[in-house]
Amino acid sequence: MGEPAFRAKQVYQWLWQKSAISFGEMTNLSKDTRAKLENGFEISPVTISEMQISGDRTIKCAMKLQDNKIVESVLIPTDTRMTVCISSQVGCSLTCKFCATGRLKRLRNLTAGEIYDQVALVKKLSEEKYGQPLTNIVYMGMGEPLLNYKEVINSVNHITSQNGLGMAAKRITVSTAGVAKMIQALGDDDVKFNLALSLHAADDEKRNHIMPINETNTLDNLADAMNYYYNKTGNKVTFEYIAFKDFNDSLQDAKDLAKFCARVPSKVNIIEYNPIDDGEFQQTTPERLNTFFRYLADKGVVVNVRRSRGKDIDAACGQLANKNKVASPILKA
């Protein structure tokens, strides 16, 4: 365009650091330069088409993409942090039995820009609604992040870059249902963010039943991949374990989990289950959960129980499914 080279850096900073959604916002560019950009390029931002606010202050956002497809993002406030749960695909191909998103078809991967936009929008929402900055990011929304590897990594780079949002990689967690070869790829790329594995059973037969991906990515395969990742990065893996009533919450299940934890440098987050429509699983009882927890803790496993947030608006773990594809802004309190 015949512009000086430093203009490129300015435009880049407006897009990725200041999250500009129009060339008109780029006020340190001349009017002529902005006009040239308007004529030659377009910015295609993600927009919030609907918000629902839970009684616990959790906010679920329906994010409208440029092709009018919808994904969901969730702002999860606590006393110590403000976390956004973001999506990486439109739908999902993995058909995990306990997850509402798994009932949707995978329509396409999100671009790095679409993933970034979710963070930028919820960051602004957190500041405006609650007066607090966004502190943490979890790739635990719709889709399997490691089946969109390139764009997920690219999005993390923009989010953590000093010319981007400048967030710390240690404040980011990518969650996978278990794609062994891509977990190894994370090790080869020496990623700095955290890795979580949606485990939910430390027995291949049980895990096959609820997560078909386990048929081709067995627990042995995953243990090898996670140890490779740990040896490359030095980062322990977090095992996410939803406790289902009378399925994976027995003392024997706790023993199996403790043995698996001994194979991989790790810690465990036990998550309470949020039933989905017509689901075959139910939430375990407090008594069984406590027995399960105590066994792991007594065996030296680093274990926490995570209480789900936003259940009243279908924003909790496993509930994202785009029930309402609304195009106009609606705020439900």
pLDDT of residue 278: 63
pTM over 0.75: yes
Given the residues 61, 85, 96, 317, select the one marked as catalytic: 317
Q: How far apart are CA 159 and CA 166, in angstroms?
A: 6
pLDDT tens per residue across all 333 residues of the chain: 889 999 999 999 999 999 999 999 999 999 999 999 999 999 999 999 999 998 889 999 999 999 999 999 999 999 999 999 999 999 999 988 888 787 788 999 999 999 999 999 999 999 999 999 999 999 999 999 999 999 999 999 999 999 999 999 999 999 999 999 999 999 999 999 999 999 999 999 999 999 999 999 999 999 999 999 999 999 999 999 999 999 999 999 999 999 999 999 999 999 988 776 666 888 899 999 999 999 999 999 999 998 766 666 555 565 556 665 433 333 333
pLDDT of residue 322: 63
Q: How far apart are CA 257 and CA 262, in angstroms?
A: 9
Q: How far apart are CA 22 and CA 27, in angstroms?
A: 11
Helix then strand then coil, % of the chain, to nearest 5: 40, 20, 40
pLDDT of residue 223: 98
Please name which of 239, 211, 217 lies closest in space to residue 92, comparing C-alpha atoms: 211
Does 317 participate in catalysis according to the annotation? yes
Given the residues 50, 72, 144, 151, select the one marked as catalytic: 72
pLDDT of residue 292: 97
What domains sit in the chain, N to C, each tagged with a CATH number?
1-43 (1.10.150.530), 45-332 (3.20.20.70)
Q: How far apart are CA 28 and CA 25, in angstroms?
A: 9
pLDDT of residue 56: 87
pLDDT of residue 333: 32
Does 287 participate in catalysis according to the annotation? no
pLDDT of residue 328: 32
